[in-house]
Amino acid sequence: MTAQLIDGIALSKKLRAEVARRAAALKERGVVPGLAVILVGDDPASAVYVRNKVKACEEHGIRSVLEKHDASMSEAELLARLAGLNADPTIHGILVQMPLPKHIEPAKVIEAISTDKDVDGYSVESAGRLVAGLPGFRPCTPWGCMKLIESTGIELRGKHAVVIGRSNTVGKPMALLLLQADATVTVCHSRTPDLAAHTRSADVVVAAVGRRGTVTGDMVKPGAVVIDVGMNRVPEGEPGAGKLCGDVDFASVEPVAGAITPVPGGVGPMTIAMLLANTVASAERAAASAPGHP
């Protein structure tokens, strides 16, 4: 058996085209969706991520405002800047690129972003809304994973889903989204004694660990849907050194799984697509509640 390859590039293109259509419809009504992207310091990887996000906005009718601040920016200055963006009606989404310099507390910064503009979905209120099943912004990576799972046609109701990883940004929201889709969810982490005992009974496995080779073919139930969130590099001295790879050992899992995401080209492209979708949704909501709207 050979697994269906879940093409994150193709699906993200479809979703991005839909975003561009919605942005164009808003523009006709005089509203241009706006995303503020804040970068503090000079972390090279962050600079690349931010550039990609800004470029994606430009290509899809979303105005992006990129603010680059020196690493010496104080926490108080950043919080004041966020207050300004919260009050700016032309800005519908605010994103602060992590990691921040050590003297700035990330939790304080995330909580300073208005829930109405929290397009990363990282705030405590957004997380609470997800727990309670209320509308709100869903974190982009797990929400993108849900779209990838849905694209396989699997009916999640009553299925067993295993999420490996329990971070606030990926593992936990992923588990909640699967629960909301009526899956029976198991969350595994570094203290789980026998990971394979859980994954072997899973109809869906989502690996969000950050460790190459966490999931191997013998750990997967035949026909399962396997989503690989991991972003790792093949170490020096091994074949393909330096290349991007996931948490899943593709070579051994692909012959067993029913469907699988590749790395690269799986989850990665979906994250930005969902960020664009959240921003345009925020602009739509703002436009609908604007004075004079029927």
Strand 93-96 to 34-40 pairing? parallel
Map residue 163 onto helix, strand or coil.
strand
* Strand arrangement, sheet containing 184-188: 4-5, 259-260, 225-228, 204-207, 160-164, 184-188
- Min separation Cβ 118 and ligand NAP, Å: 17
Size (the chain), residues: 294
Take residue 93 and report the two structure tokens written for it.
Answer: 């989404």
Please identify, using beta-carbon distances, which residue of 2 and 52 lies nearer to ligand NAP: 52
Tell whether residue 208 is a contact of ligand NAP (CB under 6 A).
Answer: yes
Q: How far is the CB of 100 from ligand NAP (least distance, A)?
A: 15
Told to judge if 180 belongs to the known catalytic residues of this protein, a careful annotator would answer no
Q: Is 166 in the site for ligand NAP (CB under 6 A)?
A: yes
Give whichever of 85 and 229 is closer to ligand NAP, judged by the CB atom: 229
191 is a site residue for ligand NAP (CB under 6 A): yes
- Exactly one of 97, 117, 118, 249 is catalytic; which is it? 97
| Per-residue contact string for residues 223-242; x = within reach of ligand NAP by CB under 6 A | ------xxxx----------
Residue 93 touching ligand NAP (CB under 6 A): no
Q: Are 32 and 63 in contact (CB under 8 A)?
A: yes
Exposure b/e, 186-225, CB count within 10 A at least 16 = b: bbbeeebeebeebbeebbbbbbbbeebebbebebbbeebb
CA terminus-to-terminus distance, the chain: 55
Q: Which is nearer to ligand NAP, 229 or 281 (CB)?
A: 229
The residue type of 292 is: G
Name the 3-class secondary structure at 184: strand
Question: Measured from the CB of residue 188, what is the shortest distance to ligand NAP in angstroms?
Answer: 5
Work out how close the CB of 141 gets to ligand NAP at its nearest, in angstroms, rounded to a whole number.
4
**Interface residue with ligand NAP, options 55, 189, 233, 285 (CB under 6 A):** 189
H or E element in which residue 112 lies: helix 106-112
Question: Considering only residues 113, 160, 268, 286, which one is a binding residue for ligand NAP as defined by CB under 6 A?
Answer: 268
Closer to ligand NAP by CB, 21 or 189: give it: 189
201: nearest Cα among 187, 217, 220, 227? 220
Q: Which amino acid is at 147?
A: K
Is 70 noted as a catalytic residue in this protein? no
Instruction: Work out whether 210 is an interface residue with ligand NAP (CB under 6 A).
Output: yes
For residue 97, state whether it binds ligand NAP (rule: CB under 6 A): no
Positions marked catalytic: 53, 97, 120
Which residues contact ligand NAP (rule: CB under 6 A)?
A: 141, 164-167, 169-171, 188-192, 195, 208-211, 214, 229-232, 267-268, 271
